[in-house]
């Protein structure tokens, strides 16, 4: 490999590393959201389903997100905020559905085929599309604007591959921990058996916590997307309010400021999501009546 090519590869990797650093929070959200889609499947189907979701994520990134992001950045950058608002509302809707389920409301469409693999994979890939879009757009916005097209494309390809590997590698590890615990229980070493039994006993609680974190993550990311991008299209008071909260909390330190920002975004996401859930429930009630009248 020539020195010139090595220098180009090094530049691409360096740019990808710097650009992807600011999307780490969304990567964590993605890793927290995905396990809820495979919880409850038979052990033999967990990794195949994770692999199919990961493949869908790569298709999202390489077929849709990267080409569209580059095209829109070049020819219609004003469209991006509207796409992100739609994505944010969708995440809020998904998160709010989870919250209403915690309080006993069962959504009919989820009850009908909760363990249908195709439906689970499709739902996970749709959610991944929103989170992956956020990851790639944040990364794109942090690339040097002076970079050429091919360098920028190369950096995005590296980011897409690394982020997908990190997210779904972590998900695969999480969903197979119980199997690891079962194997450890069969060990001749008593200490290993105790650790294995502890892992097996803790996994239901781990998945419950992951489900909660995933729902909160969807509300947080979705709410923040909506707040940030409605400001980009001219409705400034939500982002102004968020900035006021941040400025008020700054004297208390970066951690408290981050927590306040996250809390406001999540509450906004919950409000948006509950409105979206209400609209969908209303539509579901009206559609059968219309179909009945037509029949």
Using pLDDT thresholds of 50, 70 and 90, give the confidence band for residue 275. Answer: very high
Average confidence (pLDDT) over 23-43: 68
The DSSP call for residue 1 is -
The answer to whether residue 295 scores a pLDDT higher than 50 is no
Encode burial over 219-241: b for 16+ CB neighbours within 10 A, e otherwise: bbbbbbbbbbbbbeeeeeebbee
pLDDT in tens, 155-190: 899 989 988 998 899 888 888 888 888 888 888 888
Q: What is the pLDDT of residue 288?
A: 65
Is 90 exceeded by the pLDDT of residue 276?
yes
Supply the pLDDT for residue 60.
93
Rounded to whole angstroms, the Cα distance separating 41 from 30 reads 19
pLDDT at 111: 43
The answer for 279, left when phi > 0, alpha when psi is -120 to 50, beta otherwise, is: alpha
Of the candidates 26, 54, 17, the one whose C-alpha atom is nearest the C-alpha of residue 173 is: 54
Side-chain half-sphere of 224: how many Cα atoms within 13 Å?
20
Would you give the end-to-end CA distance of the chain in angstroms? Answer: 70
Q: What is the pLDDT of residue 187?
A: 84
């Amino acid at each position: 490999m020539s020195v010139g090519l090595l220098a180009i590869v090094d530049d691409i990797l360096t740019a990808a590393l710097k650009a992807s650093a600011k999307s780490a929070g969304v990567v964590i959200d993605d890793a927290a959201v995905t396990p809820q889609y495979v919880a409850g499947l038979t052990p033999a189907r967990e990794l195949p389903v994770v692999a199919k979701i990961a493949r869908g994520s790569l298709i999202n990134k390489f077929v849709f997100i990267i080409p569209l992001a580059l095209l829109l950045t070049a020819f219609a950058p004003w469209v991006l905020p509207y796409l992100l608002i739609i994505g944010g509302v969708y995440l809020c809707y998904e998160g709010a559905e989870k919250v209403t389920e915690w309080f006993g409301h069962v959504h009919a469409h989820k009850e009908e085929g909760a363990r249908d693999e195709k439906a689970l994979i499709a739902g996970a890939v749709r959610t991944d599309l929103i989170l992956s879009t956020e990851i790639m757009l944040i990364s794109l916005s942090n690339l040097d604007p002076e970079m050429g097209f091919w360098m920028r494309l190369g950096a995005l390809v590296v980011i897409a591959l690394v982020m997908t590997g990190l997210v779904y590698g972590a998900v695969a590890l999480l969903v197979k921990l119980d199997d690891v615990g079962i194997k450890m229980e069969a060990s001749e070493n008593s200490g290993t058996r105790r650790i294995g039994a502890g892992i097996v006993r803790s996994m239901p609680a781990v998945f419950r916590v992951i489900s909660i974190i995933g729902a909160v993550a969807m509300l947080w990311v979705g709410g923040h997307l909506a707040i940030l991008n409605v400001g980009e299209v001219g409705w400034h008071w939500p982002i102004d309010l968020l900035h006021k909260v941040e400025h008020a909390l700054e004297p208390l330190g970066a951690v408290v400021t981050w927590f306040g920002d996250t809390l406001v975004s999540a509450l906004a996401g919950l409000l948006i999501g509950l409105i979206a859930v209400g609209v969908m429930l209303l539509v579901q009630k009206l559609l059968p009546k219309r179909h009945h009248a037509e029949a």
